[in-house]
Every structure is written in structure tokens, then in C-alpha cells.
Amino acid sequence: MTHEGDNRMDENKCNCCRTKHTPRSKEQSRQLQNRLNRMIGQLNGISRMLEENRYCGDILTQIAAVESALQSFGYIVLKEHMETCVVEEIKSGNEQIMEEAIELVKKLK
């Protein structure tokens, strides 16, 4: 049996449900979504290549392209995170945010 306090604690641990305090501009959202859509298109292309029994080297080249695009996408989001979310948290006195930021950089490595 869970208590109301326990549920709140679980909500605080759920990073997937948080929203940004400073919203992205429409242009930023559009650019990120366009990049993401291109990667989805590349992944669909790889799927078709597999169905067509295409040459392994060609598939690997496309995989490398998607990995590179995803890495660039991640760095753009990280930069935005550092410039908005992290700065806001530090200004509000939360210096613990730096630990999270360091862990996020490690994940993108």
C-alpha cells in the first residue's frame, strides 16, 4: 500500500515527465523537429535497405550518418539545456544541477 507522500516522491524521480521552465521558441522547436524527422527518414531508409538485401557496407554507411546526426542533435539539445535550464537552476540557488549536467555530457559522449 502506498502513501500519498510516496507517490509524490516517485513523481520527483520521474525525469520523463518534467517540462522546461523556459519554453523553446517556435523556430527552435521547428528546427529540432525537422532534424528529428530527417533522422527518422534515414532510419526508414535503412529498414528498406535491409528489406532489399542491400550491401552491408552501404547499410553501415547509413548507420554512421544517422549516428552522426543524432550526436549533433544531442549536442544542440545539451547546449540549449546548459543555456536555459542549468543557468536558471543555478540562479535559483540549485548548484546540484551541475552534477546532472555532467552526467548528461557523459551520456552523450
pLDDT digits (tens, 9 = 90+) for 58-86: 999 999 999 999 999 999 999 999 999 99
The answer to whether the CB of 36 falls within 8 A of the CB of 73 is yes
Q: Tell me what pLDDT residue 17 has.
A: 66
The CA R_g of the chain, rounded to the nearest whole Å, is: 19
- Report the candidate in 16, 32, 45, 102 with the shortest Cα–Cα distance to residue 72: 32
Per-residue confidence (pLDDT) for residue 87, from 0 to 100: 94
- pTM value is 0.76
Name the CATH superfamily housing domain 26-108: Metal-sensitive repressor, helix protomer (1.20.58.1000)
21-57: per-residue pLDDT in tens?
Answer: 888 899 999 999 999 999 999 999 999 999 999 999 9
Q: Domain spans of the chain?
A: 26-108
